[in-house]
A = this chain, B = another copy of it.
């Protein structure tokens, strides 16, 4: 969809311009916002790249915006910018999943490096999310009954046992079984268990 872009949110136009100029000089696309509210109006799950976010702003603070974005499931990596060396805040932000926390004045090269790292991280995450989504779409194709049967298959139960537990004929289980394999695009219960295995560990940083 979109190409990786750095979203810059800062109330100080001088900072916004400096950042945008810096990134532009390194061939990194960016877009600026003068308040958390303005960006929040624009935010969409399709965004990719990263977010350069000033902590202290009139109105909604960067930290507040960060919380809102998390609530909105926006997974954009966030790099905080702050002029006030606040260790507890930095620690909390990172523990809450912020990608980085930089003090102003910042070093140009260091900042660009961190931005590039964040973009790279987001690119990888998007790819992972993509295959995860594909998997979930396949899962969604399964009918209710098929999902029930699948659970029992993954529990390692024999068709005979599954038939018993669901009070249906073994033949019916066999039919469901083959439909499940077909829809999930696997050829055995082992493969099924493996492709579904990655669903458990959806972590970030």
Copies in the complex: 2
Whether, in the assembled complex, A190 has its beta carbon less than 8 Å from a beta carbon of chain B, the answer is yes
Whether, in the assembled complex, A191 has its beta carbon less than 8 Å from a beta carbon of chain B, the answer is yes
Encode A86-114 as 1/0 by CB contact (under 8 A) with B: 11101100110000111100000000000
Give the residue of B90, B194, B201 whose beta carbon is less than 8 angstroms from that of A91: B90
Whether, in the assembled complex, A29 has its beta carbon less than 8 Å from a beta carbon of chain B, the answer is no
Compute how far the CA of A86 lies from the CA of B101 in the bound complex, rounded to whole angstroms.
Answer: 12
Name the CB-closest residue of B to A88: B103
B residues in contact with A154, CB < 8 Å: 190, 194
Compute how far the CA of A95 lies from the CA of B188 in the bound complex, rounded to whole angstroms.
Answer: 40
B residues in contact with A188, CB < 8 Å: 156, 189
Residues B94 and A100 in contact, CB atoms below 8 Å apart? no
Contact size range, A = 20 to 34
B residues in contact with A192, CB < 8 Å: 190
Encode A170-205 as 1/0 by CB contact (under 8 A) with B: 000000000000000011111111100100110100
If A87-B85, A91-B101, A103-B87 touch, whether A156 touches B201 (CB-CB below 8 Å) is no
Smallest distance from the beta carbon of A57 to chain B beta carbons, Å? Answer: 18
Given contacts A90-B90, A156-B191, 12 further A-B contacts (CB under 8 A): A86-B87, A91-B94, A91-B101, A94-B94, A95-B100, A153-B190, A189-B189, A189-B190, A193-B194, A197-B197, A197-B200, A203-B203
Q: List 21 A-B contacts (CB under 8 A).
A: A85-B85, A85-B87, A87-B87, A90-B90, A90-B91, A91-B94, A91-B101, A91-B102, A94-B95, A153-B190, A154-B190, A156-B188, A156-B194, A188-B189, A190-B190, A190-B192, A190-B193, A193-B193, A193-B197, A200-B201, A201-B203
